[in-house]
């Protein structure tokens, strides 16, 4: 792998500053703008989605100027395009999470006004686990055989998604939830937005906490696909981390924006599968054929085309309605 522009040893302060800024944004989000539990309207969700996307684009612009000042125009363009491509890949793969989140909230009968709070704490956990995965990935991917292995894994995952059945969620088989129930009693009903309650002097987990545990488990499984996919785009751990974080920050707004319409994009999983196959081939084969790095502009164009085609075909050829029982 090529030498990173932002190695952690020399730029640890940049990682800390970025993480601190994200925590401030999250604190403002929950403590000021969403202090009272409510179900965001379509308009509110669209506004917040625009805000998170705009912040990501501002960061991309700032990354370009910082890299231009320190490393020159060519490497600055490369870094900013890698961030943009990684952000698009992670944001698109997050669409696959929507269906799972809908099923989890439905399974635990969580009212819509509490979805935002559960997803907020889910984001905090996702930031921690993604950081761990990225640190492990940046260490392992120094070895060429690991890069090839990860690329083949992405190709296999894409083929499995394309040829297999849609992802299923079975919370009753989730080992984390089984562990919860083994060591912590579960309250039969919700208690407003509390995760824990006391019944007869003993702490009990509420269905809200169980839903959060299920969502965290699902995100870890999704991260196994998404983190290597972005490492196929760039070898910069800082760009992998920041593009992941910005995509996760917009995930809640995307959920409220698209949860009701996710079923309309029935061909999207084929587009996502094709993206995983492409980035897997890029990681295991195409990069070597292009002297170590497949052109990022072509990568971005291919990924955008695959996603646009799957969404457009879903709208042009709607899924047939299920026969009434």
With residue 287 as reference, give the H or E element that holds it: helix 287-289
Long-range contacts of 163-166 (CB under 8 A, 24+ apart): 166/99, 166/269
Dist. CA 123–CA 104, nearest whole Å: 16
For residue 289, CA distances in Å to 8, 210, 300 come to 29, 47, 18
Burial (CB < 10 A; 0-12, 13-18, 19+), residue 212, is buried
Phi then psi for residue 197, to 5 deg, are -135, 160
Residue 186 pLDDT exceeds 60: yes
CA triplet 236, 268, 247: central angle to 5 degrees? Answer: 35
Least trusted range by pLDDT, from 35-49, 118-132, 143-157, 205-219: 35-49
The pTM of the full predicted model, rounded to 2 decimals, is 0.85
Q: What are phi and psi of 205, to 5 degrees?
A: -80, 140
More confidently predicted of 175 and 277: 277
pLDDT of residue 1: 47
Q: Which residues of 107-126 are buried (b: 16+ CB within 10 A; e: fewer)?
A: bbebeeebbbbbbebbbebb
- How buried is residue 58: exposed, middle or buried, by Cβ count under 10 Å (0-12/13-18/19+)? exposed
* Residue of 58 and 175 predicted with greater confidence: 58
The average pLDDT across 106-135 equals: 85
Backbone angles phi, psi at 2, to 5 degrees: -70, 160
Give me 285's structure tokens: 């084969």
Torsion of CA 86, 91, 92, 93, to 10 degrees: 90
Q: How high does pLDDT run on average in the chain?
A: 84
Distance, in Å, from the CA atom of 87 to the CA atom of 41, rounded to the nearest integer, reads 25
Q: State the average pLDDT over residues 37-51.
A: 82
Q: For 221-274, how does the pLDDT look when each residue is reduced to its tens digit (9 = 90+)?
A: 788 878 888 888 888 999 999 999 999 888 888 888 776 666 677 888 899 899
- State the pLDDT at residue 323: 57
Quick one: pLDDT band at residue 305, thresholds 50, 70, 90?
very high
Average pLDDT over residues 41-62: 91
Residue 176 in this model has a pLDDT that exceeds 80: no
Angstrom distance (rounded) from CA 210 to CA 216? 10
Q: Please determine, for residue 76, whether its predicted confidence score (pLDDT) is greater than 70.
A: yes
Q: Which stretch of DSSP H or E encloses residue 204?
A: strand 202-205
Banded pLDDT at 218 (limits 50, 70, 90): confident
pLDDT of residue 65: 96
CA atoms of 143 and 301, how far apart (whole Å): 28
Element (H, E) at 203: strand 202-205
As a whole number of angstroms, the distance between CA 307 and CA 63 comes to 25
More confident residue, 53 or 167: 53
Q: What is the mean pLDDT of residues 312-322?
A: 81
End-to-end CA distance of the chain: 57
Q: What is the pLDDT of residue 264?
A: 76
Residue 12 pLDDT greater than 70, yes or no = yes
Q: Which token pair is 12?
A: 């640890």
Q: CB–CB of 120/29 below 8 Å? A: yes
User: Does the pLDDT at position 202 exceed 50?
Assistant: yes
Burial of 65 (0-12, 13-18, 19+ CB in 10 A): exposed
Cα–Cα distance, 152 to 35 (Å, whole number) = 45
CA distance 104 to 216: 11
> How sure is the predictor about 166, in pLDDT bands with cuts at 50, 70 and 90?
low
Yes or no: say if 79 and 67 are a contact pair by the CB < 8 Å rule.
Answer: yes
């Amino acid at each position: 792998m090529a030498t990173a522009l932002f190695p952690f040893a020399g730029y640890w302060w940049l990682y800390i500053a970025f993480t601190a800024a994200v925590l401030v944004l999250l604190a403002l989000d929950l403590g000021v703008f969403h202090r009272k539990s409510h179900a965001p309207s379509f308009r509110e969700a669209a506004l917040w989605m625009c805000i998170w996307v705009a912040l990501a684009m501002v960061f991309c612009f700032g990354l370009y100027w910082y890299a231009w000042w320190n490393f020159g125009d060519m490497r600055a363009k490369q870094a900013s395009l890698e961030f943009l491509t990684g952000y698009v890949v992670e944001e698109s793969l997050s669409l696959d999470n929507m269906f799972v989140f809908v099923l989890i909230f439905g399974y635990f009968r969580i009212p819509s006004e509490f979805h935002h709070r559960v997803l907020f704490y889910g984001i905090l956990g996702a930031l921690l686990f993604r950081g761990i995965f990225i640190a492990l990935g940046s260490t392992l991917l120094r070895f060429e055989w690991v890069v090839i292995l990860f690329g083949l894994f992405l190709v296999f995952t894409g083929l499995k998604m394309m040829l297999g059945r849609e992802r299923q969620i079975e919370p009753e088989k989730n080992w984390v939830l089984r562990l919860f129930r083994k060591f912590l009693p579960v309250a039969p009903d919700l208690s407003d937005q509390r995760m824990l309650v006391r019944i007869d002097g003993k702490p009990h987990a509420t269905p809200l906490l169980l839903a959060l545990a299920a969502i965290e488990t699902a995100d870890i499984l999704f991260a196994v696909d998404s983190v290597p996919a972005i490492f196929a785009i760039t070898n910069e751990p800082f760009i992998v981390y920041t593009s992941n974080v910005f995509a996760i920050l917009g995930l809640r707004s995307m959920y409220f924006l698209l949860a009701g319409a996710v079923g309309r994009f029935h061909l999207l999983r084929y587009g996502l599968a094709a993206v995983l196959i492409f980035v897997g081939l890029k990681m295991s084969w195409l990069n070597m054929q292009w002297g170590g790095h497949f052109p990022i502009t072509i990568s971005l164009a291919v990924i955008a085309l695959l996603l646009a085609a799957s969404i457009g075909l879903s709208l042009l050829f709607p899924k047939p309605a299920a026969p009434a029982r």
